[in-house]
Structure 1
Amino acid sequence: MKILDWYILKRYIFTFLMMLLLFIPIGITVNLAEKIGKILEKNVPFVEVAEYYYHFTIYFANLLFPLFLFLSVIFFTSKLANNTEIVAFLSSGVSFSRFLRPYMIGAGIVAIFALALGLYLAPRASQGFNEFKYTYLRTNNNIQQTKDVFRQINDNDYVYVSSFNPKNKIGQNFTFEHFEGNELKYKIFANNIRYLEDDSIYRLTTYHKRKFVDGKEIIENQRRLDTLFSFDLEDLTPVEYHAETLLYHDLIKFINKEKARGSSNIGRYEVVKYKKWSLPVSVFILTIIAVAVSSIKRRGGMGVNLAFGIAIAMIYVFFDKVFGVMAEQSDFPPIVAVWFPNIIFGILAIYLLYNAKR
């Protein structure tokens, strides 16, 4: 590797790390200022607070590192352009593609780091981050009901509730179906179901049971019934962030299991899966855009490049969030939602690179 490659590569890595070290403490400070009241109110042990912010650091870095990388490349490349160093490189006979090579090497290093972060480090950090938040930082008013929960418990049993409140452990419009082969053996209805934690049983109100024996239908009715079921409370209260806490091979197994159960959150889970691969690819795309935008010396100096870069970054975040929500809350294909921003910005990168070469 030549002197030019080492020079740019060191600036690439160093500026990116400095950007992380600059913004992560700011993120921790803002978060602590917002949460300190609840932390003091609930007397959270210092060790747990410290562990939470360790997880928060990894979670925050994984969430926003493509933007930090993008801004850091614009920053140091603009400095090279303002100092006419890029002009000197290109005037010495170095082609623009050759000038871009150390950037791609740096992007490759960061992409490997991003892949390891997404596959191994971020899931554990997400679990610690979310468990602390749900344990200490959420108020009762923020606990939302799960709606339209339909689950296949095993090969024979299916359960449905129109809504379930995790606070008081009460579900509405409960249905339980038991099959043997393709034949429905019995079906249970109840206006509501409540989990009694002290006794580890379920209480059904306005209970009805339709049982089929030898082609005959037997109906049972009770005002209230305490009973046991083959499902767990977690089957009625699926945790939204659970997919984020799983290592990749566990995530694949979890998604396959949830598909078999008929979960309504498959889109959310698959968005998490595809993002583990799309984020490393976005490193290369954003690097190319940043170099193409900032390698030209402009009259407004570095400020113009940074302003343009921030605008592109905000548009990228907008596309990423909007299409992610569409996949989570509708039938929009998750793989399209996750990769669409990369495709659009990949085309933009090719266009800007072509103009920069000219």
Structure 2
Amino acid sequence: MLPILDRYLIRKFLGTFFFILAIVMAISVVFDVSERIDDFLESNATFWEIITVYYGNFVLYYGNLFSHLLIFITVIIFTSKLAQQSELISILAGGVSFNRLLRPYFISATILVIIALLLNHFVLPMSNKARIDFHVEHLWNSFKIRENNLHREIEPGVIAFAESINLEYNTAYRFSIEKWEDGKISEKIITDRAIFNPEDSSWTLRYVTHRKFFEDGEESLRREISLDTLIPVVPKDFGERPEIAATLGYNELNEYIEKEKLKGSDQVVFFEIEKHQRTSYPLATYILTLIGVSIASRKARGGIGLHIAMGFVIILIYIFVMKVSTVAATNAGVNPLISVWIPNIVFLILAILLYSKAQK
């Protein structure tokens, strides 16, 4: 049985957190409804589907996504209130050490971390699939691949290139396939236009140039106006919505990353970031909890307002560092594992410094 002090602080922690979470999610839903009301009216989604499928999963996803930041605000608010009412001073003066005071905070944080980890790795992928399926069916326009000069390794040593893809017409422009053996190109097929036939998964190539390269340096050249062939790739393989990462379970995500690496996909980094964030975000709760207690436990002349302002400044800095590190992974080639954990490492150092100066 936990001591009275622990039960009191845990009740304060969890009660304040879920109250703030409910308020933030209610406000988020109101803003989202006002933004999407026209889309809902134009879609064929029923009111029940909008409430249960869309907003049920909307609250689950965004509530969990920002939970570690809301936990930080929670700690700031209720700890600052305890400090302003001199309750913390009484507790510390009564012989309770600051380290002992942290115990109920970290018990509460652990409960929320476990919930977040279970949601991230097991529950949310299914929830996100339902939410994104709703988007695809009722809200999103048809998916378009806007990138140019795309390439995929469709088989070991076989690489497909496309200057551009039009999914609406299942057509790849300036399409080519290269076959490589022992580091040398052995065959290349170039076509002005390749049309995918969904009925039998075949491709129709228009204005084809077929070149073969031999070991003696000779090559053969053949041209055809039209050629029907089977190629183990479909147009959508050249581009996926990044949101699909959120619909994959842990094992599925690992398998998908390995498959995309074999294809030479430049989208791999987004999926690796998603994989690592599922663990790094919940564990940031411990760091932000320590920062929150260290800041708010000291009675300040500015009161709760000053502590909340400091909390929001720290959150903004955390989000900024998180965004910069993510961009470093996607655009500068930084390892996704390192980039995802950089914000936690930076703020762990800050947490230790603030803890050393906290009111003991």
* Pair in the same fold by TM > 0.5: yes
Q: How big is the shift at 1:156?
A: 4.6
SS at 1:241 equivalent: helix
Q: Give the equivalent residue in structure 1 for 2:262.
A: 260
Q: How big is the shift at 1:247?
A: 0.9
Q: Give the equivalent residue in structure 2 for 1:145.
A: 146
SS at 1:316 equivalent: helix
Q: Give the equivalent residue in structure 1 for 2:325.
A: 323
Q: Give the equivalent residue in structure 2 for 1:70.
A: 72
Task: Give the counterpart of 1:340 among 339, 342, 360.
Answer: 342
Superposition pairs for residues 86-165 of structure 1, below 5 Å? 86-139=88-141, 143-165=144-166
Q: Give the equivalent residue in structure 2 for 1:170.
A: 171
Matched, 1:301 2:285: no
SS at 2:155 equivalent: coil
Distance in 1 (CA, whole Å) between partners of 2:221 and 2:46 is: 54
Matched, 1:22 2:23: yes
SS at 1:317 equivalent: helix
- Identify if the C-alpha distance between structure 1 residues 296 and 330 changes in structure 2 by more than 3 Å, giving closer, same or farther: same
Structure 1: stretches of 5+ with no match in the other structure:
none
Distance in 2 (CA, whole Å) between partners of 1:263 and 1:65 is: 32
Q: Contact (CA 8 Å) 1:166, 1:237: kept in 2 or not?
A: no
Task: Answer with 3-12 or 244-253: which moved more.
Answer: 244-253
Matched, 1:194 2:200: no
Code of the residue aligned with 2:249 in structure 1: it is L
Distance in 1 (CA, whole Å) between partners of 2:170 and 2:86 is: 66
SS at 1:211 equivalent: strand
RMSD of Structure 2 on Structure 1 (CA):
2.2
Q: Give the equivalent residue in structure 1 for 2:352.
A: 350
- Identify if the C-alpha distance between structure 1 residues 82 and 301 changes in structure 2 by more than 3 Å, giving closer, same or farther: same
Code of the residue aligned with 1:67 in structure 2: it is L
Q: Contact (CA 8 Å) 1:164, 1:237: kept in 2 or not?
A: no
Code of the residue aligned with 1:175 in structure 2: it is S
SS at 1:105 equivalent: helix
Q: Give the equivalent residue in structure 1 for 2:248.
A: 246
Q: Contact (CA 8 Å) 2:44, 2:138: kept in 1 or not?
A: no
Code of the residue aligned with 1:260 in structure 2: it is L
Q: Contact (CA 8 Å) 2:196, 2:234: kept in 1 or not?
A: no
- Identify if the C-alpha distance between structure 1 residues 43 and 322 changes in structure 2 by more than 3 Å, giving closer, same or farther: same
Distance in 1 (CA, whole Å) between partners of 2:196 and 2:135 is: 24
Q: How big is the shift at 1:307?
A: 1.1
Matched, 1:79 2:95: no
Q: Give the equivalent residue in structure 1 for 2:46.
A: 45
Q: How high is the TM-score relative to the length of structure 2?
A: 0.91
Distance in 1 (CA, whole Å) between partners of 2:49 and 2:224 is: 47
C-alpha distance after superposition, 1:18-49 (max 9, x if no partner): 11111112212211211111121122233432
Q: How big is the shift at 1:249?
A: 1.7
Percent of matched pairs sharing the same residue = 34
Q: Give the equivalent residue in structure 2 for 1:13.
A: 14
Distance in 2 (CA, whole Å) between partners of 1:241 and 1:178 is: 32
SS at 2:195 equivalent: strand
Task: Answer with 236-245 or 28-37: which moved more.
Answer: 236-245
Q: How big is the shift at 1:6?
A: 0.8
Q: How big is the shift at 1:124?
A: 1.7
SS at 2:82 equivalent: helix
Distance in 2 (CA, whole Å) between partners of 1:98 and 1:248 is: 36
Task: Answer with 172-181 or 238-247: which moved more.
Answer: 172-181
Q: How many residues align?
A: 357
Q: How high is the TM-score relative to the length of structure 1?
A: 0.92
Structure 2: stretches of 5+ with no match in the other structure:
none
